[in-house]
């Protein structure tokens, strides 16, 4: 079982396939053995079921990071425009520097890493199960 997905096997179908194979006994022909083996493999394969609440939580975190990055970007742009206006309007005004652009870059990097890791985990869980 993975973090985001698990394989669900129908126990009834698997049990029926194994019981049918055992009922044939040692006198089964190679064709019958192949048929029973295929039935057992098919029943054991099952289906992949995703944990919706975990996937939703991961996507929600990515959405919050995106929202924070957008808000910080807007604040950084507004601050830079305000400082440029003051510097142009006042002689001798030294524009203040802000750490907002660095913070925006950090949040965007975190968003990229989180989104990539979430996608990789979803694909890996689905492939492993």
The confidence band for 111, taking pLDDT boundaries of 50, 70 and 90, is very high
Burial code of 69-84, b = ≥16 C-beta within 10 A, e = fewer?
beebbeebeebeeebe
Residue spans per domain, the chain: 1-50, 51-129
Tell whether pTM > 0.75.
Answer: no
Residues 6+ apart with CB under 8 A from 52: none
Dihedral pair phi/psi, residue 17, rounded to 5°: -65, -40
pLDDT digits (tens, 9 = 90+) for 15-73: 777 777 777 776 777 777 777 777 777 777 767 777 888 888 989 999 999 999 999 99
**pLDDT at residue 53, as a whole number:** 87
Q: What is the pLDDT of residues 67-101, one digit of tens each?
A: 999 999 999 999 999 999 998 998 888 888 889 89
């Amino acid at each position: 079982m993975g973090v985001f997905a698990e394989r669900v096997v129908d126990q009834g179908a698997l049990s029926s396939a194994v019981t049918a194979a055992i009922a044939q006994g040692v006198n089964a022909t190679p064709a019958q053995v192949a048929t029973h083996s295929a039935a057992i493999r098919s029943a054991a394969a099952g289906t992949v079921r995703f944990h919706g609440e975990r996937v939703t939580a991961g996507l929600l975190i990515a959405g919050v990071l995106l929202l924070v990055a957008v808000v910080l970007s807007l604040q950084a742009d507004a601050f830079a425009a305000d400082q440029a206006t003051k510097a142009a309007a006042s002689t001798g005004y030294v524009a203040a520097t802000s750490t907002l652009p660095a913070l925006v870059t950090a949040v965007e990097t975190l968003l990229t890493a989180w989104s990539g890791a979430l996608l990789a985990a979803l694909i890996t869980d689905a492939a492993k199960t």
